[in-house]
Chains A and B, each alone.
Chain A
Amino acid sequence: MHEGKVLAYKRINRDLLSGLFENQLRYWAIVMFLGLVVLVAVVAAGFMVNRGVGVTGLNRPVFWGFFITNFVFWIGISHAGVMLSAILRLSKAEWRRPATRAAEVLTIFSLMTAVLMPFIHTGRPWRLMYWVFPYDFQRGIWPDIRSPLVWDPSAVNTYLISSILFVFIALIPDLAVIRDRSSGIRRIAYSVLSLGWRGTPRQWKLQAIAGILLSALILPVFVSVHSIVSWDFGMAVSVSSWHSTIFAPYFVIGAVHSGVSGVVTVMILMRWLFRWEEYVRKEHIDALARLLIVIAIAWFYFFAMEFIFGIYGQEGDELATRTLQIFGEPWGWWFLTFIITAFFFPVPLWLFRNVRRSFLLMTITTISVNIGMWLERFLIIVPGLARKQIFTQSWHTYAPSPIEIAIVVGTFALVLMLFLLFAKVFPLIPIFDIKEGQVLKDEIKIGRRKVPAVIREE
């Protein structure tokens, strides 16, 4: 799979730091546009906080709607970072090199956005501080640890902190490179951040050990976070279609499905934006597409199982939920869109190498997977509530208000904007990792034979 050219170190430094040291018109144009969309969402959220949650489309059976769907979606996207970085690092997959940092950074920003959603959802964000940080110690009222909503912030914050550490450890050698190429205040800032990195063998060894340790330690957190998010629904005894034991693995694999797709999308975006054709190559996209095939099939298995288990019990409210999901108006159309985009769009990846190696087709496929996965969460959350229990008088439906749509669209712009702003301050492709990859590929001639220059311990 070694298709790339061997590049000079000087060239690698210049290319991968181009985001930091060069100003491009189209970069700023995109950031400005995204900023504008975020601004609209901020105004919408402010309006909602000022008037009350009533400006949304929520009602008595459907108390959770677009915001919670979006929360679950962004938590799902955040699963790409660890899935790619940690697992591929531990398994020493060569093609991970240009993908790891983009994946980790996507993790951090999508997690931060996900954490925003419950705050917006309650309509009075200042009250929610009480839940995450119980400040009135003297009354002796602590958060109720029986509630999945207490497990949630614990898991998500653990994941956020460990992901930030993970990114930072991998950034240190690159920060030193930037430090050596900058001056003034910038130099001081990068000096502090690079923690006195000199590139001594001992420092390299410590950095490698820290990376591997964090990879191994973060994996259980990665599995637990989305399991716990799924228990927000699985623990609800009163909503039949939520109350399912398969939710934890189903949500985790669904998260990986949307997360890996998200990484492919942003990798192609940054390849186009920063002209990194030499670094993000067809072989990388191909490898990610193969991974996506496995995940898509595993996810579909869990989806089918969850559905079959649901209707197998033949309970009235469960059947009513499923009927609404598939045949309801307009739910049925969304269900059809979800199945086609999340499962059938990736099918050509199984069959054609050309599709896996086409940047355009991969962009379309991965974006469509994420449209499907957003709808999947929506179709789990809302119809279940709309057909809760057998009190048919209380059944209702839900349609989002423009305020909710504006805020949800704004979160997409927010994640992309933060991702691009990150590229202005830090390199999005790990410089030292790319160089390491080249060193490992080096070959020397001994007599007539070519042998690898570096022999790795397995």
Chain B
Amino acid sequence: MANEHKWGMVIDIDRCTGCQACVAACQAENNIPINEEKDFLSRRAKQWIRIDRVWEGKFPNVKARFIPVLCQHCENAPCEPVCPVYATYHNNQGLNVQVYNRCVGTRYCANNCPYQVRFFNFFDPEWPGTLWNQLNPDVTIRSRGIMEKCTFCVQRIRRGERTVEGQRGERLNDQTLKEGNYMPACVNACPTDTLLFGDLNDTASQVSRRSGDRRHYKLLDRLGTDPNVVYLKKVDPYAEEEEAHA
């Protein structure tokens, strides 16, 4: 196909308030079990998207910084070649795909992920009481011994494709799937438009326009992983002021 999609995300740190709406939305959309205190203490909590909080400065001049971290869907992903069974591979739409049925649980991919966004099912997932009834039928429940991670809500992309197909009554071609037909749960929930999702190959899309912003950078760029997630630097008026004074 001439015009393949290349799904990507732009995260504008300047807009992030650290509200964790994306985390909750992701949790609900992707059938992630509820993280309890003991899960956080034993470092086994599952958060496909997490808000890392960084404290800057010393008391009393402390600033809290937030950075949402999710699977970067690297073009040159370190997790992919180390899997002996192709349970994780790169598809032709720029997605780093995890195939649950193939995973044997060596956990090598998680060791080799510099962003630490891969999560292992140490036990079978459990939900209290009737919460079993609210699980998303589009998303597999991962049993124990399996690695999982952010999929860019691939089920929503597929649903978008099917919707377009149904409306036009013909086979889908790449021109028809436009922005607004798809949106990952975290982007949907973000109240400040910190997260933007779209097709990096589509020059008209918001993400491809914003990813060229002069504030853009990529996480751990020195490793050469070439992520499909682009961050936009925080604009700090105080820092600029200080720089001007100096």
Contacts and interface: CB of A to CB of B under 8 A. Distances in A.
Interface string B101-115: 011111110111111
Given A118-B106, A389-B114, A54 B85 contact: no
Contacts of A131: 84-85, 104, 106
A238 B43 contact: no
A53 B111 contact: no
Interface in B3-59: 42-45, 52-54
Contact of B122 (A53, A127, A147, A391): A53
A141 interface: yes
A128 B85 CA distance: 10
A249 interface: no
A147 B114 contact: no
Contact of A393 (B53, B110, B112, B114): B53
A385 B43 CA distance: 13
Contacts of B53: 393
Contacts of B69: 391
A396 B81 CA distance: 26
A64 B106 CA distance: 9
Nearest to B45: A60
Contacts of A389: 114-116, 220
Given A147-B108, A393-B53, A60 B44 contact: yes
Interface string A126-168: 0110110010000001011011111000000000000000000
A416 interface: no
Contacts of A54: 44, 122-123, 144
A25 interface: no
B85 A143 contact: yes
A60 B118 CA distance: 8
A122 B105 contact: yes
Contacts of A63: 107, 110-111, 120
A124 interface: yes
Contacts of A141: 85-86, 102
B230 to A, nearest CB: 18
Contacts of A118: 106
Interface residues of A, number: 42
A53 B84 CA distance: 20
Contact of A385 (B54, B86, B111, B123): B111
Contacts of B81: 144, 146-147
A40 interface: no
Interface string B58-91: 0000000000010000000010011111100000
A161 B170 CA distance: 58
A53 B108 contact: no
A394 B52 CA distance: 9
A332 interface: no
Interface in A252-271: none
Nearest to B86: A144
Nearest to B54: A393
Interface in B157-201: none
A123 B144 contact: yes
B145 interface: yes
Contact of A238 (B113, B121, B122, B144): B113
A60 B108 contact: no
Contact of A130 (B44, B85, B116, B220): B85
Contacts of B138: none
Contacts of B119: 60
- Residue among B82, B84, B104, B116 with the highest chain A CB neighbour number at 10 A: B84
B108 A59 contact: no
Given A127-B145, A237-B78, A393-B53, A388 B114 contact: yes
A123 B78 contact: no
Given A130-B85, A149-B84, A389-B220, 13 more contacts: A59-B42, A61-B116, A122-B105, A124-B104, A127-B103, A128-B105, A130-B104, A144-B86, A150-B84, A239-B111, A388-B114, A389-B116, A393-B54
19 contacts: A51-B123, A52-B122, A52-B124, A58-B120, A58-B122, A122-B106, A124-B104, A124-B105, A127-B103, A131-B106, A134-B85, A143-B84, A144-B81, A144-B84, A144-B85, A144-B86, A147-B83, A389-B114, A394-B116
Interface of B: 42-45, 52-54, 69, 78, 81-86, 102-108, 110-116, 119-124, 144-145, 220, 223
